[in-house]
Structure 1
């Protein structure tokens, strides 16, 4: 099955390459190296806007040599397909979920731990600390790629079709889509729900068909992906703050000339900063649209019950995967510096 999906992604890529090489291209364009970038979000999403800023910066500085092409909305296949294509070098850069990267090196498991970060401030400071992230980002070099920056995906909470989640007990018996990660599957089990791992692009149809009762993600999923048309309850349990990770083919990245590499590194910073700035505005707009146009009700349950139920998972993971403990300890230092704040519930 994985081979078939990978083959499909490669075929789609070849079609796009051939389509982009029409007779109207100038000789200068033909001589440029195409940098293919794939992601699974819409063209309105902060991730796409950030990647366009990246494209603009690279082409302003290296436009005589490189043509950056950004493919949104899974045009190059699912995230799993794109990661595999980035491994082989068929595409240069893609945005991957942390859950997928966990299958390549289990050090990424640290970010999937529920209630890992006490606040958004702690989360951002951790992700901006190279002492924490660099060893993680370079852990997949032997797999053919490495992370080059992270993107804000906000906090993940549950949203459902027919039953509001006011306490962990309300999850009992519900089939909830989770990312394809063993950690997330175990989390759902501890909370009393039934985990249904699947790719993000499959969620809308699964909700519509009644295959699942709900999902867990950020507010943007309600509006950008239409999930709020089906799910009318969004419960802020905020069980995870998991970054999206931008990865690049390792061989391509390290074959860049030193001056070119410096420009690409600056481009990755611009991508990060632009995406995070756009994220804040996008979440505000998504909440307003979901409430007013889709009729979504936002619920703010007591988080303590959820935290208590999943606590054994954190201890189990730390004991099993001992290399996570140093990262966990450093994160706790940031949690002490940036504790949870009581936010106004709107």
Structure 2
């Protein structure tokens, strides 16, 4: 069914764009671009994508235009990635976790406790030696990365159980992103991973299909998970960024000036996002605690870090991922994680 959905949406959008655009290749290809994502319009990601759209249109004096689709109007994350591959969608924002099944290089972000803290994460993501490898790893399958958006540290939240260490993870059914790395992480921590789409988390927590989920703080408020989850544990086990990706052929058809506008606008959106993300995170923690009654708990991370060490060892030894791991860990393959 998925492939028919993607085909239907692709044909529909391409027909619409064909009817709307007569731009010649000589003038580049920046007209009527489609930008899609799956967040609500009050989410900081949507505001940052509005900033991206605004920057592109202003820097090009209106010669480059974008239509922004929010709330998963064009499909879930996997579907919009596939639409971006076909060129039916030009730009999309998706979690790096969703990209893992398309290119293994993105699985590096799902490795628990890869970064000591957010500062280290941002330092690594400002290094072109690293980002060029990640962003360009998917060019052979139809898309490239433009920039990243900070999505915060992912932590564990539960319906009714406080988790203090990995012993408390036993038997805990935890929703994870549909990625092999996320599944392996929860298994290593002693829980029972349950891959499912993000849109199913609220009702699954409410009904008891799952006992817990792991995400960033804004999910408690923006998706109302704080209404059905009583406890938040600061496990801070992963920093999985959102990635802004673009169809490779569309980018290649642009003039050099247009491509520069796209990249400059992406960086402007990244800087804007850092501000609105920090504001949203602080507001979410306050609302979840004071209005939703979520209890926040610090945890001793030592047992968590120890439990996932085999995942680091496995990635170091992998032919594809070993060099990526070394890039992020400074090239010292013997470094403790």
Q: TM (normalized to structure 1)?
A: 0.88
**What does residue 97 of structure 2 align with?**
99
Give the stretch that moved more between structures: 64-73 or 259-268: 64-73
Q: TM (normalized to structure 2)?
A: 0.90
Gapped regions of structure 1 (runs ≥ 5): 22-30, 336-346
CA distance in 2 between counterparts of 1:79 and 1:96 reads 6
Are 1:332 and 2:301 an aligned pair? no
**What does residue 44 of structure 1 align with?**
42
Are 1:317 and 2:315 an aligned pair? yes
Q: What does 1:1-346 align with in structure 2 at a 5 Å threshold? A: 1-7=1-7, 9-10=9-10, 33-319=31-317, 321-333=318-330
CA distance in 1 between counterparts of 2:147 and 2:12 reads 26
Q: Specify whether residues 328 and 33 from structure 1 end up closer, same or farther in structure 2 by C-alpha distance, changes over 3 A only.
A: same
CA distance in 2 between counterparts of 1:238 and 1:286 reads 16
Instruction: String of CA shifts for 1:234-265, please: whole Å, max 9, x gaps.
Output: 10011101111111000001111111111111
What number of residue pairs does the alignment pair up?
324
- The Cα shift of 1:11 comes to 7.8
CA distance in 2 between counterparts of 1:64 and 1:242 reads 34
Contact kept? 2:158, 2:231, Cα under 8 Å: yes
Contact kept? 2:316, 2:326, Cα under 8 Å: no
Contact kept? 2:91, 2:245, Cα under 8 Å: yes
Contact kept? 1:156, 1:240, Cα under 8 Å: yes
Contact kept? 2:30, 2:258, Cα under 8 Å: no
- The Cα shift of 1:208 comes to 2.3
CA distance in 2 between counterparts of 1:263 and 1:334 reads 34
CA distance in 1 between counterparts of 2:270 and 2:59 reads 18
Contact kept? 1:171, 1:192, Cα under 8 Å: yes
Q: Specify whether residues 254 and 196 from structure 1 end up closer, same or farther in structure 2 by C-alpha distance, changes over 3 A only.
A: same
**What does residue 343 of structure 1 align with?**
none
**3-state SS of the aligned residue for 1:216?**
strand
**3-state SS of the aligned residue for 1:33?**
coil
Contact kept? 1:12, 1:77, Cα under 8 Å: no
Q: Specify whether residues 11 and 203 from structure 1 end up closer, same or farther in structure 2 by C-alpha distance, changes over 3 A only.
A: farther
- The Cα shift of 1:123 comes to 0.3
- The Cα shift of 1:62 comes to 2.2
Contact kept? 1:51, 1:271, Cα under 8 Å: yes
Gapped regions of structure 2 (runs ≥ 5): 21-28, 333-337
CA distance in 2 between counterparts of 1:161 and 1:181 reads 23
Contact kept? 1:112, 1:184, Cα under 8 Å: yes
CA distance in 1 between counterparts of 2:4 and 2:98 reads 18
CA distance in 2 between counterparts of 1:7 and 1:127 reads 34
Contact kept? 1:151, 1:276, Cα under 8 Å: yes
**What does residue 335 of structure 2 align with?**
none
Instruction: String of CA shifts for 1:113-139, please: whole Å, max 9, x gaps.
Output: 100001111000101111011011101
Instruction: String of CA shifts for 1:178-208, please: whole Å, max 9, x gaps.
Output: 0111111111111111111112122122222
Q: Specify whether residues 32 and 235 from structure 1 end up closer, same or farther in structure 2 by C-alpha distance, changes over 3 A only.
A: closer
CA distance in 1 between counterparts of 2:87 and 2:160 reads 44
